[in-house]
Amino acid sequence: MSERGERPTLEAVARLAGVSRATVSRVVNGSPKVAEPIRAAVRRAVEELGYIPNAAARSLVTQRTDSIALVLPESASRVFSDDPFFPSIIHGVSQELDAANKQLVLMMTNTVGGYERVERYTTARHVDGVLFASTHGVDPLPGQLHRLGVPVVVSGRPLGRSPVPYVDVDHIGGVRKAVRHLLDSGRSRIATIAGPQDMVAGIDRLAGYRAELQGSDRRSIVAVGDFTRESGATAMRQLLEDDPLLDAVFVASDLMAHGAITTLRELGRRIPDDVAVVGFDDFDISRFTDPPLTTVRQPILELGRELARQLLRVVAGDDVPSSVVLPTELVVRASA
Minimum distance, C-beta of residue 209 to a copy of itself, in the bound complex (Å): 25
User: Site for a copy of itself (CB under 8 A): which residue of 13, 24, 65, 296?
Assistant: 65
The alpha carbon dihedral of 170, 176, 179, 183 has a sign of negative
CB count within 10 Å of CB 41 equals 18
Does 53 sit near DNA (CB under 7 A)?
yes
Write down how long the chain is.
336
Residues 43-62 binding a copy of itself (CB under 8 A) are 52-57, 59-60
The alpha carbon dihedral of 94, 99, 100, 102 has a sign of positive
Pick the piece of the chain touching a copy of itself (CB under 8 A) from 9-17, 119-127, 187-195, 244-252.
119-127
Does 270 sit near a copy of itself (CB under 8 A)?
no
CA–CA gap between residue 97 and residue 263 (Å, rounded):
42
Pick the piece of the chain touching a copy of itself (CB under 8 A) from 20-28, 78-86, 179-187, 237-245.
78-86
Does 7 sit near DNA (CB under 7 A)?
yes
Does 67 sit near DNA (CB under 7 A)?
no
Does 253 sit near a copy of itself (CB under 8 A)?
no
Minimum distance, C-beta of residue 111 to DNA, in the bound complex (Å): 24
User: b/e string for 70-93 if b means 16 or more Cβ within 10 A?
Assistant: bbbbebbeebeeebbbbebbbebb
Does 161 sit near DNA (CB under 7 A)?
no
Which residues is 280 bridged to in the sheet? 296
User: Site for DNA (CB under 7 A): which residue of 22, 99, 148, 267?
Assistant: 22
Minimum distance, C-beta of residue 295 to DNA, in the bound complex (Å): 49
Helix pair angle (10-17, 21-28), 10° resolution:
100
Does 220 sit near DNA (CB under 7 A)?
no
- At position 216, the amino acid (one-letter code) is S
CA–CA gap between residue 75 and residue 269 (Å, rounded):
32
Does 188 sit near DNA (CB under 7 A)?
no
CA–CA gap between residue 322 and residue 336 (Å, rounded):
37
Does 125 sit near DNA (CB under 7 A)?
no
Binding site partner of 185, from DNA, a copy of itself, none, Cβ cut-off 5-8 A by kind:
none
Does 91 sit near a copy of itself (CB under 8 A)?
yes
Q: What separation in angstroms does the CA of 55 have from each of 43, 71, 97, 254?
A: 19, 23, 17, 43
Does 161 sit near a copy of itself (CB under 8 A)?
no
Minimum distance, C-beta of residue 44 to a copy of itself, in the bound complex (Å): 18
User: Site for DNA (CB under 7 A): which residue of 43, 44, 45, 60?
Assistant: 60
CA–CA gap between residue 167 and residue 325 (Å, rounded):
6
**Contacting residues toward DNA, per CB under 7 A:** 7, 9-11, 18-23, 25-26, 28-29, 33-35, 38, 51, 53-54, 57-58, 60-62
